[in-house]
A and B are shown apart, each in its own frame.
Chain A
Amino acid sequence: MQKIVLIDYGSGNLRSAQKALVAAAATLSGGFDICASDDPKIIAAADRLVLPGVGAFAACMRALGERTGVIEAMTTAVQQGAKPFLGVCVGMQLLAERGLEFGQTQGLGWVGGEVRPLTPSDPHCKIPHMGWNALEEMTDHPLLRGLEVGAHMYFTHSYALLPSDPSNVIAQVDHGGRFTAAVAKANVAGVQFHPEKSQSAGLRLLANFLEWRP
C-alpha cells in the first residue's frame, strides 16, 4: 500500500485534486492510500507527495511557510528520500527559485528558474489563459505516457514558470507564444494545468504519476 499525501495548506483545489487522485488510483492495480495533511510527520512518511495550488504565488508560499515544519518535511522527503513529487498549477510554480507576482517572492527552488507574467504576442490572446488548450512539444517522459500530442488540458493562470534549464520542460502550450505546461527534474515534476479538472486526459496523467518510478 503506497501512501500518497496531498499537502494541505488551505489551497482551494485540494479536495478536487484528492478526489481525482482517488479516481486515477482506481484505474490501477496497486493499492494507494490517498490523504491530505499538514502534519510534517505524515508528509515525511509519504511515498509520494502532491502540492496543489490556486491563487497568487506569494500568498501560497506564505501559507505553506506558516505551517510549521511542512516545507522542511517536504524538502527532506523529496531531496533525501527521493520521493516522487507533483506540483499542480501554483503548486508547480512554487518549485521555481522565485516568483514575480506582486513583487519578488522566493520559491522552493527545486527547479531553477522563475515565474513570470504571461505576455502573449498576439493581442487577441486574453489573460488569464483560461480554458482547454493542447499540449505541444511533449517529451517521452513517463508522466505523459498514453497522452498524445494535442491532448487537451484545462488551464487557468496568468503567470508561467520559465525554467533556467530548458531540458526541464516536458510539455509546452501555445497562447500567443509557447510556454511551460509541464516540468520534470529527477523525482520532482509539476504541471501548469489542472489534471483534476481535465477529465480523462487529466486522470491519465495522475495515474502516470502514481506509477512513476523516477
Chain B
Amino acid sequence: MLKVRVIPCLDVKDGRVVKGVNFLALRDAGDPVEQARAYDAAGADELMFLDITASHEGRGAILDVVSRTAEVCFMPVSVGGGIRAVEDARRLLRAGADKISINTSAVENPALLSDAADAFGSQCVVVAIDAKARPDGSGWGVFTYGGRKATGLDVIEYAVSAVKRGAGEILLTSMDRDGAKNGYDTALLRAITGAVNVPVIASGGAGSCADLVAGVRDGGADAVLAASIFHFGEVSIGEAKAAMRAAGLPVRPI
C-alpha cells in the first residue's frame, strides 16, 4: 500500500535557505544541502526546494544546490520556482531533481505542462496551484506571481485542465491559510482530490500534527507539505509520522 508522504519545504534564495530548520548540529544552517541532509536523516519522504530568487542571474545557484544535494541525499527531491521553459526543467532534472513544480508559467504558457510531460513524463511534472477563496463563497480562484495576480480561473477547472495537459501531481496551496498555522483548507483539498485522479500535496496552513492528519483524512491529500512547523522544530518528522500512524493513516516507518 502506498504511504502518505511527509514533505518538508525549504525556501531558497540565491542558493541560501531563507527560513531554515533549527537543528543545532548543523555547521551552516543557511546551507540548503545541510538542511536536506538533516531531513534525510530524520526520515522525510521527499524534499521540496522552492527557489524564490528574484533575479534571473541568481538562478544558477539552485542548480548547484540540487546537484550537491543529489550527492549526499538519496531521497526524492522536487524543485519549484522560476521554471519557464522545458530547458529550465531539463537543467534541474539533470542536476538531480526528480520532479519540477511549475506555477505561474503553467498558467501563462498552457503548452509548458504538456511539453514537459512529453519530454520527461508526467511523473516528474508537478503543477503548483495557489488558490484563494472567493469572497462570495463560490469556490476558489487561481493566483499567480506568488499570489499577487488574480487569473480569474476557477481552481477546480484549472486543476482538471492541468492534469489533462500532463501534470502528474498537484501541489495545492491555500493562500488563505498559508502562514496562519490554523490548518490546511480541507474543503479546498476535498474539492480538488475529488476532481482529479493524480496525487495531491496539501500545502499552506499546517500548524500541528493534527493539521497534517486532517489534510489526509478530511482533505483526501496524498502528501502533506509544511515549512515552518518543521523548520522551527515545533514538530519533528518522526512526530508527524507517529501522529498519522496513530490516526490510522499509512506511513513509511523511519
Contact = CB atoms under 8 A, between A and B. Distances in A.
Interface in A140-158: 152, 154, 156-158
Given A125-B2, A132-B3, A197 B98 contact: yes
B122 A128 contact: yes
A19 B122 contact: no
Interface string B63-77: 000010011001110
Interface stretch (B88-96, B141-149, B225-233): B88-96
Q: How large is the interface on A (under 10, 10 to 19, 20 to 34, 35 or more residues)?
A: 35 or more
B22 interface: no
Interface string B95-131: 1101100000000000000000011111110000000
A97 B249 CA distance: 39
Interface stretch (A8-16, A40-48, A162-170, A181-189): A8-16
Contacts of A128: 122-123, 168-169, 198-199
Which 3 A-B residue pairings sit nearest by Cβ, starting from the closest?
A12-B93, A55-B121, A156-B123
Provide the main secondary structure of the chain A interface.
mixed
Interface of A: 12-16, 19-20, 23, 54-56, 59, 90, 125-134, 152, 154, 156-158, 174-175, 194, 196-199, 202-203
Nearest to A198: B74
12 contacts: A19-B74, A19-B96, A20-B74, A127-B197, A131-B199, A131-B222, A132-B252, A154-B75, A158-B123, A174-B1, A194-B98, A197-B75
Given A12-B94, A54-B93, A126-B222, A133 B121 contact: no
B70 A175 contact: no
B71 A126 contact: no
A126 B2 CA distance: 10
Contacts of A130: 2, 123, 168-169, 199, 222
B40 interface: yes
Given A15-B67, A16-B98, A133 B74 contact: no
Contacts of B96: 15-16, 19
Given A13-B93, A131-B222, 9 more contacts: A12-B120, A15-B96, A19-B70, A128-B169, A130-B168, A132-B5, A156-B123, A157-B123, A203-B74
Given A13-B98, A158-B123, A197-B76, A131 B40 contact: no
A162 B40 CA distance: 33
B45 interface: yes
Interface of B: 1-3, 5, 40, 45-46, 67, 70-71, 74-76, 90, 93-96, 98-99, 118-124, 168-169, 197-199, 222-223, 252-253
B251 to A, nearest CB: 9
Contacts of A199: 40, 74-75
Given A54-B93, A130-B168, A15 B2 contact: no
Contacts of B122: 128, 158
Given A13-B98, A15-B96, A152-B252, A132 B71 contact: no
B3 A152 contact: yes
B98 A126 contact: no
Contacts of B119: 55, 59
A23 B70 contact: no
Nearest to B223: A131
B175 to A, nearest CB: 25
A175 B74 CA distance: 23
B1 A134 contact: yes
Nearest to A20: B74
A19 B71 contact: yes
A202 B222 CA distance: 22
A158 B117 CA distance: 13
Contacts of A20: 74
A194 B46 CA distance: 13
Contacts of A134: 1
